[in-house]
Structure 1
Amino acid sequence: MKKQPKEYSVPAIDKTVAILNALSDRQLTIQEIHSSLNVPKSTAFVILNTLEQYSLIQKNAEGKYRLGHGVLRWGIGYMKSMDLVTVARPHLEKLVADTPYTVHLAVVEKDKPVYVDKIEGGGFVRFATNIGQVQPLHMSGVGKAIASGMTDAYIAELMEAELEGSSDKKARTLEKLMDDVRYVRKYGYSIEDEEFEEGIRCIGAPIRNETGHVFASISLTSLNKDLPATKFQQIGEAVKATADRISAELGYLQQDNEGGALPRQESGH
C-alpha cells in the first residue's frame, strides 16, 4: 500500500494564521480569540504581543485587536501586479528622470494613503520611505491629494477621530487641512511644506478611476533646497499633469493630458 505524503505544520504558526484570519473579519479581545479559536490564553498573549511588535495587529482602547498596517507589506507582490502600479510606473519614471526628486504612488487604505510604489530620481539623497508605509492624511502630499476627493463633512469626521490635543488645536489643524483641500480642488495639486518633516517638501496630485473617484495619489518628495517655493506652481502643474495622464489611462476622461515632465536638473543639485 502506497503511503500518503506526510503533512507538516508548525502549531504556533497554525495558531498565528488562524488569529490573523479571524482578525481580518472582525475585531476581537484576547478572551474572544481564546474561546472562538480554542487557543490557550497564554499562547494567544505571546502571539498577539509578537504580532503587535511588527505592527501586524493593533490594540484599541477597548482591548480589542485588529489588523495593523504592517500586513500591507505582505501584499507588495500583489500590489505590484495591479493595473495601477503597472500603468503609473512609466509616467512616474518620466516625471523624476534626471532630477533630484523622489516620487511615491499611494492608494487609499482605511481612509489613509499607503505607499505602493516608489521611484527615485538621479539625486544623491535617498529618502527613508518604504512600500507599505502609511502616511497621515492631513500633513502629507499624498494625503491632502486624496482628501480632496472626500466631502468636507467626512474629512471633519476623520480628523475628529484621528487628531489628538485640545479642541482649539484640532480646530486649527482641521482649518489648515480644509484650506489645503480647497487649494487642491482649485489648482489640482497639493503642497506639503515641511509639515511632516523639517527640510522636506512634497507636492502631490490625486488619481481618479473611470468614475472620477479619487482612489490614489502621487507625490514628489524633495529637500527644500531643491524645491524652493518659487517652483511650487511649475512643479505642481507637472505633477498634476502626470496624475491626469495616469487617470486617463485608467479610464478617467475629463482632464487635460498635456504636460507631465519636469524640467531637467543636475542630479546632484
Structure 2
Amino acid sequence: MTAARKGFLERGWRLPERRLPGGTVRAVRYAVVSHLDAAERAGGAARAWATFPKPHLVVPAIVELADSPEITESVGDVLGEAFGIWSSAIFVSPPGTGTGFGWHQDALSYDLDGDEGRALRVWVALTPATPENGTMWFADGSHRCGTLDHDLDDPVRGQSVSPDRVPGEKFPVVLDEGGFSMHDLRLAHSSGRNTTDGPRINVALDYVAPEAVPGAGCAGVLPLTAGFQTPWRVEPDPRKAAAAQAHEACVTESARRLRSAMDLAARDGLPLVLGPADDA
C-alpha cells in the first residue's frame, strides 16, 4: 500500500503538491465558461445538464483535465493502476454571491458499493480558492464515522449536518490556481459564500476504480486506463465521439444518475444531496 493511499484511507482527504500548468488551467476555464454560456442560450436539456453530473461527456477539455498527468498520477497513488472518470461538476460562485452549502456527505446520493478507498473526488481550482471566496472546508477523518444525520433542512442551502455534530478537526481547503484537492465521497465537507469581487470557478472530477460496484443507474464510466470490466458501462470519449453522440450520452447518463439518486434516497430515507446545488 502506498503512503498516499494509507493516509487517504485514514484521513479521507489529500492535498497533492502537484500543480496544473497555467496554460492548461486557462484552456479549461475558457472551455467551461463557453460551455455554460452556450448551454444557457440553448436551454432545455443542454441547460439542465450543463453543470452536473456528466458535463465531461460534452466538454472535451474537462476530460483532458481529468486525464492530465498531474491529476492521474495523484489519483493512481490512491486508487491504483486502473480508474475512470465517473462523474463531474462545474461550480461557479460569482463575486459577492452564493449561499455556500452546509456540512454534508456526497456519498448519500451515490449508489456505489465497495467504494471505500475505491472512489474519490478531485476538486480543481480554476481560480484561487480561499476562505474569502467560499472555498470548501473538510472535517478530518469524518468519512470513518458512517452516515451522519443530515438534520438541517434549509430551502436555500439544502439538507446538511449541524456543525456541532460534525466529527473531526475542520479546516479550509486553500488552493492556488491550478491546485487541486482529493476527498473520499463520504467525507463531511461544506462551502461558504463568495465575499470577494471576483468569481470562484472549480471543476469536480469523480474517479472510480473497477472494484467499486455501481447500481444500475450509476454504471456509466469513461475509463482513463485499461482494466475496466463489467458491471461498468463504457461511455463515449468526447475527444473522439461525434457531437450528437456525446450529447445523447450526456443526457441519457445524467438522467440515469438522477433517477438512481432519487430511488436511493427514497429507499433509504436519506436526503438527496446533488452536485451544483452544493455550491462547492
TM-score normalised by the shorter chain: which range applies? under 0.3
The structure with the greater share of residues assigned to helix is 1
Ranked by relative contact order (alpha carbons within 8 Å, sequence separation 6 or more), the top structure is 2
Q: Judging by fraction of residues, say which structure has more strand.
A: 2
